[in-house]
Structure 1
Amino acid sequence: MLNDPSPEAGLLTLLRVGSIQAPEWLDANEILIAGGRIAALGRDLDVPAGWPVQVVEAPGLIAVPAFIDQHVHVTGGGGEGGCGSRCPEITAHAIAARGIGTVVGVLGTDGISRSPADLLAKVRGLRAEGIAAYMYTGSYRVPPPTLTGDLQRDLAWIPEIIGLGEIAISDHRSSQPRQDEIERLVSEVRVGAMLAGKRGICHFHVGDGARGLEPLRRLLSETEIPAEQVIPTHVNRHRNLLEEAADYALTFKACVDVTAFDDADDDDLSGFGAVTRLLQRGVPVEHITMSSDCNGSLPEFDAQGGYIGMRVAGNATLIADWQRLVQEQVLPIDQALGLISGNVARVLGLDGHKGRLAVGFDADMTLLDPTLTPQRTYVAGRCVYSCDLDAKGAPT
């Protein structure tokens, strides 16, 4: 699968590309990697003679921060139609082939046959394969399932856990949590995250229900919880919810997460359309992120909530919607990168070492061709996905 020699071939890697978006354009075309981090950026970088360096030539490609997908059912979602409707696990190859270097694993409807322990094992397995993987504790359910029996202990003692999610609200599959239960959960996560030195976000699944974002609006209006603690996702399920999400983001200076739905019947509700609409409503691009819901279920229900059927979500639409935002000039590439990289790193509390190409940051980068299609993905300086390149570093 990979063209690059193994990491043991050289203690240093010198990557030569056509251009670098960090996300801003840099007057540089070389990236020096040491110990999994970026050691230098520039042109004609000088590596002392005799030092063990591996040189990788890719002059036809653009280096950008590796993408971050904050909502992935890494163990598979589904289950709404019984055991035969469980979705499959995702592979490291399926992640890296889309230019994604970091994922956050979630449990969904099924917190019974799948557990936080399963999720942690999968996250650690992905890490062993080179993907930067994290997870949320909990699932749709309230009270949420945990690993230690306590939300604060999960956050404090398990490094891979960065928050709680996806807690379901405004959905017939949710536990219909009361307002005081929502407030207690978010408060518990906030304190646990403080003790652990983490951001500790609460990732809320928002369904089709008439209450929409009202539970979160009340949370931010009636308590001292800061808006950065709470991230609603799937806010582009329908037009009214998307409009409410715009008002929510503007009122509370909050972030909202758009899902790149595989099955969006209306282009205005696709990831592309939803981001475009939020921008038109005046929501700052810094307050918008996109995720895939990959390997989750796309179930269909009748008017009474009965299960009809489902498909399995993928992550190709996430990249396609992102490409379209740039290609149709909705956003310049530096701002568009924030939607699936820098903004996400900030939301998750990973922006001290991920989400941009800078000295000291993790050497997580995606190499794009001129059509913005990922050709190589590096995580901590290791090439975890590569298309074949010719002698000039261009895809064959």
Structure 2
Amino acid sequence: MMPRNACTPGLMTLLRVGGIFSPDRLEATDILMAGGKIIALGSDLDVPGGWPIHVEEARHLIAVPAFIDQHVHVTGGGGEGGCGTRCPEISAQEIASMGIGTVVGVLGTDGISRSPADLLAKVRGLGAEGICAYMYTGAYRVPPPTLTGDIQRDLAWIPEVIGLGEIAISDHRSSQPRQDEIERIVSDTRVGAMLAGKRGICHFHIGDGKRGLEPLRRLLTETEIPADQVIPTHVNRRRELLEEAADYALTFNASVDVTAFEDAGDGLSSFDAVSRLLELGVPPARITLSSDCNGSLPEFDAEGAYLGMKVARNTTLIADWQRLVHEGVLPLETALGLISTNVARVLGLHASKGRLAVGFDADVALLDSELQPQQTFVSGKSVFKTIKR
């Protein structure tokens, strides 16, 4: 992580790169940033002498929208095997080094030793270190823990709260919510978000249970809730679940979130899952990728007894995404949607994030020829840069 005082940049920053993908390929090679926004795109931009500007020469790199990870256990997940199995917090360096500029923090199984207040404090801490960070209110269980005692108030009064999650269904660790309880919390989230001017998605953890996506199918069939209000994640944890997720996406014109599991076990890697969803006809715009990083990867026996766990990392997210491009599954312009443009739309951040365009947030990742992140800008400030020796 580059110290924030490593250099004294001007009030403006001019990036000169080898190419710009917005995600579509642009003719421009220069990005002018000021006030946290992109204020100009072009080639060989001429800046008057004497202007307070820092020029960053990176002609050997390409610029893309900084990635957005919508499922991060920023305070650490785990705990299924006791207090000694709590996962560690994630650092700003771990986030930015992968080209990620925006994260959404989640609580998981453990909503007891960790709370929405802990999550909010961590999210604000990451913000102080230069990462754009949001959070979901709630955790696995229903009724969900909140900051103010009410889902709608959390959305209305806490700027960092952009939705509800991760609510667990079809999982032995969930609170086994009834259908009417699911409908109530989703409708509460929707109305609270409307009052706050937010999208207010409900981020659903889908477990190994035989019910799969049935509770969400019923929700969209039996109520007036629109499909873009709910996002099922971990849909690649079982092959059968992924097939169901494809049908769900096509039936309801809905989005599904694939998790970049480090060890997919009985499921599919995010590379294989995206490839299969595309084979089944799911449009790329309806697929997103997330890391689940710093969450636990627990192993249970057939009776549900805890056997052990690993800690998820976000390195798999970027590696599998790179593989999708390198092996020709998707062109770079389309693949960028999986971790930028599509995610921004799903979260309701599409007016300011997910694209490199004038007026958008100056969140930029610079990638080398292998698509490996070399520098990350958030709101126009460099928060990560590799050190060349």
Range class of TM-score, shorter chain: over 0.9
Output the CA distance in 1 between the equivalents of 2:153 and 2:336. Answer: 34
SS of the residue corresponding to residue 345 of structure 1 reads helix
Output the CA distance in 2 between the equivalents of 1:265 and 1:323. Answer: 21
Output the CA distance in 2 between the equivalents of 1:145 and 1:109. Answer: 12
TM-score by length of 2: 0.98
Counterpart residue number, 1:309: 308
Output the CA distance in 1 between the equivalents of 2:14 and 2:364. Answer: 13
Aligned AA (1:198): K
Q: Deviations over 1:349-370 (max 9, x none)?
A: 0000000100000000100000
| Structure 1 residue 4 displacement after superposition | 8.8
> Which is further off, 72-81 or 8-17?
8-17
Aligned AA (2:302): A
Counterpart residue number, 1:225: 225
| Structure 1 residue 144 displacement after superposition | 0.1
Output the CA distance in 2 between the equivalents of 1:153 and 1:265. Answer: 40
Aligned AA (1:108): G
Counterpart residue number, 1:208: 208
Aligned AA (2:308): G
Counterpart residue number, 1:2: 2
Q: 1:300 to 1:209 in 2, by over 3 A?
A: same
Do residues 235 (structure 1) and 235 (structure 2) align?
Answer: yes
Counterpart residue number, 1:178: 178
| Structure 1 residue 46 displacement after superposition | 1.6
Do residues 367 (structure 1) and 363 (structure 2) align?
Answer: no
Counterpart residue number, 2:77: 77
Counterpart residue number, 1:64: 64
Output the CA distance in 1 between the equivalents of 2:209 and 2:195. Answer: 35
Output the CA distance in 2 between the equivalents of 1:265 and 1:193. Answer: 37
Counterpart residue number, 2:246: 246
| Structure 1 residue 6 displacement after superposition | 5.6
SS of the residue corresponding to residue 58 of structure 2 reads strand
Alignment check: 8 A CA contact 1:7 1:382 kept: no
Counterpart residue number, 1:298: 297
Question: Percent identity between the aligned chains?
Answer: 76
Output the CA distance in 1 between the equivalents of 2:6 and 2:26. Answer: 28
Aligned AA (1:147): L
Query: RMSD in angstroms over aligned alpha carbons?
Result: 1.2
Output the CA distance in 2 between the equivalents of 1:376 and 1:9. Answer: 15
Residue correspondence of structure 1 range 323-334 to structure 2 within 5 A: 323-334=322-333
TM-score by length of 1: 0.97
Aligned AA (1:283): V
| Structure 1 residue 47 displacement after superposition | 1.1
Output the CA distance in 2 between the equivalents of 1:108 and 1:3. Answer: 31
SS of the residue corresponding to residue 9 of structure 1 reads coil
> Which is further off, 45-54 or 228-237?
45-54
Number of aligned pairs? 389
Output the CA distance in 2 between the equivalents of 1:10 and 1:313. Answer: 38
Q: 1:369 to 1:4 in 2, by over 3 A?
A: farther
Output the CA distance in 2 between the equivalents of 1:177 and 1:5. Answer: 49
Alignment check: 8 A CA contact 1:295 1:314 kept: yes
Aligned AA (1:169): I
| Structure 1 residue 49 displacement after superposition | 1.7
Output the CA distance in 1 between the equivalents of 2:318 and 2:21. Answer: 17
Q: 1:3 to 1:310 in 2, by over 3 A?
A: closer
Q: Deviations over 1:263-302 (max 9, x none)?
A: 1136x71000000000000000000000000000000001
Residue correspondence of structure 1 range 100-139 to structure 2 within 5 A: 100-139=100-139
Output the CA distance in 2 between the equivalents of 1:178 and 1:353. Answer: 37
| Structure 1 residue 388 displacement after superposition | 2.3
Output the CA distance in 1 between the equivalents of 2:385 and 2:283. Answer: 34
| Structure 1 residue 9 displacement after superposition | 2.9
Aligned AA (1:122): K
Q: Deviations over 1:154-209 (max 9, x none)?
A: 00000000000000000000000000000000000000000000000000000000
Aligned AA (2:96): A
| Structure 1 residue 5 displacement after superposition | 6.7
Q: Deviations over 1:325-370 (max 9, x none)?
A: 0000000000000000000000000000000100000000100000
Aligned AA (2:340): S
Alignment check: 8 A CA contact 1:132 1:379 kept: yes
Alignment check: 8 A CA contact 1:4 1:56 kept: no
Output the CA distance in 1 between the equivalents of 2:85 and 2:357. Answer: 43
SS of the residue corresponding to residue 20 of structure 1 reads strand
Q: 1:33 to 1:7 in 2, by over 3 A?
A: farther
SS of the residue corresponding to residue 250 of structure 2 reads helix
> Which 4+ stretches in 1 moved above 2 angstroms?
1-9
Alignment check: 8 A CA contact 2:4 2:383 kept: no
Structure 1 unmatched ranges of 5 or more: 390-395
Output the CA distance in 2 between the equivalents of 1:81 and 1:147. Answer: 26
Output the CA distance in 1 between the equivalents of 2:371 and 2:240. Answer: 32
Q: Deviations over 1:102-144 (max 9, x none)?
A: 0000000000000000000000000000000000000001000
SS of the residue corresponding to residue 107 of structure 1 reads coil
